[in-house]
Amino acid sequence: MPFYKEIIINDTTSIYLWKIEEDFNTFFRQVQLKDTSLTRLECMKSESHQNGFLAVRMLLQYLQYSDFDLYYDDFGKPHLKDGKHISISHSQDFSAILISNTPMGIDLEILKDKIVTIAPRFMDASHLENLEQDNKIKKATVIWGIKESIFKIKNERGISFPKHIFEKPFHLNDKRGFAQLRFNNLIEEYCFQFEFVDNYALVCAFQNK
Ligand SMILES: CC(C)(COP(=O)(O)OP(=O)(O)OC[C@H]1O[C@@H](n2cnc3c(N)ncnc32)[C@H](O)[C@@H]1OP(=O)(O)O)[C@@H](O)C(=O)NCCC(=O)NCCS
């Protein structure tokens, strides 16, 4: 399938999704890659990872960008040369990019039972109390996505999900909420938004100034 959908977050921010149904060769014929990206692609162990990487380039090309407009800093955070902010997430079935005028983070996470078991390691497990199992999975996955998204904005070593990022209580029906980063003697407020796409949670976050 080609381009899947655009989700408009606000006037200057959109998320773009690619549903991965192509094989490696189909993608490879259609994207133009820098040498550094070719090297990265060759080093990837699974075709699924390669396809996720190539689908991101398909999304860039869909938006009139290309792999040549994208570069990474020393921590692996992606940037666009035109100064717009980009955040990237990919999984088995989808690749997602978020483009914005302000720093934002995105995360796409598959819904899996195991997240409930490991929830106490990364979140306040009381936020899952009184939920049916399906909703526990959804909420814990969203909370993981919130923390990944905030991490992707801050891009700083030493941030721990359970020790430094705290989601405020929210309901799945809210589709949005607030979180705090308490790190290095600073407290920062973040907003998040989420939705479910097939069996994935798609989360984005941005600072609430
Ligand atoms: C880097 C990290 C955010 C990637 O997240 P992920 O869920 O594994 O993978 P995703 O597909 O969602 O995101 C991958 C993309 O994130 C982006 N990314 C990588 N490092 C990044 C960073 N430091 N800052 C912002 N974005 C980053 C890249 O664009 C990457 O894709 P690409 O290299 O193909 O372009 C994640 O591996 C990580 O390090 N998380 C924080 C560590 C942590 O605290 N974990 C759990 C503690 S309980």
* Domain CATH number, residue 176: 3.90.470.20
Q: Retrieve residue 86's tokens.
A: 């980009």
- 116 lies in the same domain as 191: yes
Q: Which of 178, 131, 185, 110 is nearest to 150 (CA)?
A: 178
Better-predicted residue by pLDDT, 209 or 180 = 180
What are the tens digits of pLDDT across the range 144-195?
999 999 999 999 999 999 999 999 999 999 999 999 999 999 999 999 999 9
Read off the pLDDT of each residue in 83-107 and give the average, rounded to a whole number.
97
Total domains in the fold of the chain = 2
- Which residue segment(s) compose the domain that 51 sits in? 3-101
**Cα-to-chain-centroid distance, residue 155:** 13
pLDDT (tens digit, 9 = 90+) per residue, 113-156? Answer: 999 999 999 999 999 999 999 999 999 999 999 999 999 999 99
Q: How far is the CA of 152 from the centre of ligand 1 (A)?
A: 7
* For ligand 1, atom 5: residue with the closest CA: 148
Measure the CA angle with vertex 64, ends 61 and 69; round to 5°.
80
pLDDT at 209: 77
DSSP 169: P
Q: Are residues 89 and 116 in the same domain?
A: no
Residue 96 parent element (H or E): strand 94-100
> Chain-centre distance of CA 102, in angstroms?
15
Q: Are residues 65 and 7 in the same domain?
A: yes
| Same-domain pairing of 9 and 47 | yes
Q: Identify the residue whose C-alpha is closest to ligand 1 atom 26.
A: 77
Question: Considering 63, 86, 101, which residue would you say is the last residue of a domain?
Answer: 101
